[in-house]
Structure 1
Amino acid sequence: MTAVEQTRHLATAIPGPRSSALISRKNDAVARGVGTTMPVYAARAGGGIVEDVDGNRLIDLGSGIAVTTIGNASPKVVEAVAAQAADFTHTCFMVTPYEGYVAVAEQLNRLTPGSAEKRSALFNSGSEAVENAVKIARAYTRKQAVVSFDHAYHGRTNLTMALTAKSMPYKHGFGPFAPEIYRAPLSYPFRDAEFGKELATDGEVAAKRAINVIDKQVGADNLAAVIIEPIQGEGGFIVPAPGFLRALLDWCRDNNVVFIADEVQTGFARTGAMFACEHEGIEPDLIVTAKGIADGLPLSAVTGRADIMDAPHVSGLGGTYGGNPVACAAALATIETIEADGLVERARQIETLMMSRLNQMQADDDRIGDVRGRGAMIAVELVKPGTTEPDAELTKALCAAAHAHGVIVLSCGTYGNVLRFLPPLAIGDDLLNEALDILATALADLPA
C-alpha cells in the first residue's frame, strides 16, 4: 500500500461529486437513524490524513472517535491482521480457543493500573464490555443497583443507554430502559465554578456531594457498582477536579461497591498515560477498554482484580465473536506500536502544542469559555460572549467551517457546545498547527 501523502489538499469542494453520489446511495440504502458527521466518503487513510473518494486529503482530528490512535492502517497492524487472516479468521474462543486471546488478556493484565492479580475477558464493543462489567460486579457483590454520573456516555444498548445521561440522540424514543440505574452529580470544574471556587477546585468536596446523593437515593447496601469515565468523552471531555476519583474509589472500597473505570475513549495512550486513571494514581476494581485497543478492529475488554473477575460462573461470560483472532492480532500489534514508538510521550507533546495554541485563542476570544483535556484528548467549550451560556449554534457553525476547509473535527457535550480534538498520535506538528490555524481563522470569521 502506498503511504498517504501527509498534506491537506482540496481537489474539489466538500463534498465532491463522488462523495455526493455516495450520499445519495446511502440515503436510499441505509437506515435513516445511522447518521454521519462528515459529508465525504473515505478511500484511504494514514498518519494524520484521511483521503476521500474525490482525492481530497483532510486533516484528521477525530481518529474515528479515538479508535485509530496509532494512525490508520498502521504498518504492524496491517501485517499482523493479514497474517492472522491467512491462518484463520474465526473458530470461537469458547469452542476451539487460540493463543491470541490469551496473549491479549496477558497484555491487558500487565498494562492496566493495579498490582493485584488480574484477569481479562474480551468482547466486541465498548457497550458490550460495559454490560459485562456490570454483570461481573453484580455477581461479585450479589447486589443490583449501579450508579453513573451526570454527562456520562456508556453506549447505545439498553443497559448502557440507561447509564448514559444525554437523551438526544442516544436515548430519545428508545425506552423503557434497564432498571436499578441511578445518577449522581459529576465534578465539572467549569460549570461548578458558578457555585463556588471550592466545589470547582476541590475534588473531595465534589465527591462528598455525589456520595451524599448516592447514600440518600440508593444506599451502599443495594449498590453493586459505580461506573465513571475518568475523563468524560461524549459528555464534553470533562476532567474532574483533583481528588474526586480518589474519594469515590475510597468510598467504594469502604462499602463493598465495585469501582468501574470506563476507559473506552481514554485508554491506550490517548491522555498522555497508558490509561487515564494513572493521572490520579488510582487503581480501579474493573477497567473497561475498547476503541483504541485494536486500531479499528472491533474488540473490547473488561480487566480487573482476579477475585472480582472470577465471580461469574463458568460460561457466564462470552459471546460468539468476542476476542476474534484477527482483532486480537491487531490489538497485540497496536500495543507493540504504542510502546516501541513512544506514543504515550507523543500524546503529551500533542497536549503541549494544542493547549498552548488553544489557550492563546481563548485569550483572544471570550467565546471560548474553557480549554481542557489531557494528552491528545483536548476540548474547547464555546459560550455566548462574556457569559457561561452554552453556544451550540456557534459550535455547529465552527464544525461546518472546519469541514469545508478539510479539517475533521467533532462536537460533543450535554449542551452541544464542546469542540473536541482526538488526533492520531501519528500526526505531525505541521498538520496540527495548520488545522489550528484554520480553526482560529474560521472562529474569527464567525459573528459573535
Structure 2
Amino acid sequence: MDTLTEAVLAGAGPEELSRHPLPATFTAAHLLARDVGMFEGEADRDVRRSVHVGPVPMPRLAPDEVVVAVMASSINYNTVWSAMHEPISTFTALRRLARQGGYATRHDLPHQVVGSDAAGVVVRVGDGVRHWNVGDHAMVSPAYVDDQEPSAHADSMMGSEGRAWGYETNFGGLAHYTVVRASQLVPKPPHLSWEEAASLTLCAGTAYRMLVSDRGAQIKQGDTVLIWGATGGLGGFALQMVKNGGGVAVGVVSSDQKAQILREQGCDVIIDRREIGMGDGEDSAADAIECGKRLGRRIRAELGEDPRIAFDYVGRATFGTSVHVVRRGGIVVTCGSSTGYQHQYDNRYLWMNLKRVIGSHIANLQEQWETARLFRQGGLVPILTDLFELRETGEALRLVQQNRHVGKVGVLCLAPEEGLGVTDPELRERIGAGRLTSWRRYASTARV
C-alpha cells in the first residue's frame, strides 16, 4: 500500500495528506479497448467477462481538477452499458473527447476506468481550484460540463460539451482514486457513511431534476405521479420526493417482493405490471394503449383521477403507456431507456390532449447541492441495499444487468468496511440510523 493511501485510511489531516506523493498507479475497475467486439453474436453479454480490476496509471491533474481518494462508489446502468459495449463502445466517446486537445487527450487510453458515483477525500487540488481543499469530504456528481461554454452558464446540462463522467469520460469512480473537475464536487452529508453517500448523486440528483426542478415536472402538493420501476435506484428516490412534496405516488413493479417493499416505504398505490398485461418491450403502440387503458382504470379506481406526471426511465416497454395514461395537460418526464431507445406511442394522445414530454439528463451543480441539502435535513434517505468490494465489481454489475436487485448497489473502494465516514453522529442519531439503513434489509445478496 502506498503512503498516501495509508494516510487517507488513517484519517490524516490536510498537511499530512499533502506531504505524501500521489501513487504512480492505483487499483480500478476498468474496460480494455481490445475487448470491444468480444460479445459480437452473443445473446448474453455477461459483463463479468469484460470488467477488469487491477492497476492503472495515475493521470495528470488539470488546473480545474481535483484528485479524490475514493472510499466508496456504486453501480449505475450506464456502467452496464459500457461493459456490454453497447449501444456503442464508450471508447468512441473517449476518442471524441480527446479531439478537444490539451488535457482532454488524457482520456483516450487503451483502458477506461468506469463508474459514475463516488464519495471520498480530496487529496490534491489543481492550481485553478478555489472552493475545495485537501482533506475535504466530497461526493462526485456525474455531470462533466464545460464551464467556458456560454450555454452552461444558464444551465450547465445544456452545454454541448456536457458528458457523463465515468461513462463518456475516463477516470471514473469505481477505483481507489479518481480525477474530476471541481465543478463536480458536492459536500458529503456528514451523517452518512461513505457507501451511503456514494449511492446518491447520479440517481437522486437525476430524480430531483426530473420531478422537483423548474427544468422538470415541478411537482406540487396533491399531484399524482406514476413511477415506473419504483424500487429501482431512480424509482426509490422518486418515491421519496413525491411523498415529501405532498404528492400521491403510484408505483409500478414486477414482483410480489417489490410490491411489499413499496408497501413498507409508504407508496400510495401499488400496481404489479403483470396485472395490466405489460409486455417485455416489444409492444406496439396499440398494445401500449390497451395497457394504458387497464392501468388508467386501476389508478382511477384507487384515486378517482389520472396521474399528472409519469416518471419514466424504462423506455420502450413503458413509454407509450406513459403517454396514454397521464391526464390532459399531463407530463411524461424521461431520462433513460433501459428496455430500448426506439419508443412507439400514439401521437393523438399527446397532441390532442396537450400533453408534454420532458427529456432530462443528470442534474446541474445547483440541483445536486439542493438534493444533498434534502439528505442533510433528513427529508431524503439512502436506498442502498447490496454492498460489494471493489474486486467484486463484475458481480455487482451482473446483479444490476440481470435486474436482480432493488435500490442501489454499492461498492467499497478504499473503505475497508462499511459504516465509516460519519462525522456528525448526533445528526445521524436525530434522523435515525434505522431509517437511514432501512433499505439494507432488501439486499439480494449476503455480500460484505
Please say whether Structure 1 and Structure 2 have the same fold, judged by a TM-score greater than 0.5: no
Q: Which has the higher strand share?
A: 2
State the TM-score, normalizing by the size of structure 1: 0.36
More relative contact order in 1 or in 2 (CA 8 Å, sep 6+)? 1
Q: What TM-score does the superposition give when structure 2 sets the normalisation length?
A: 0.36
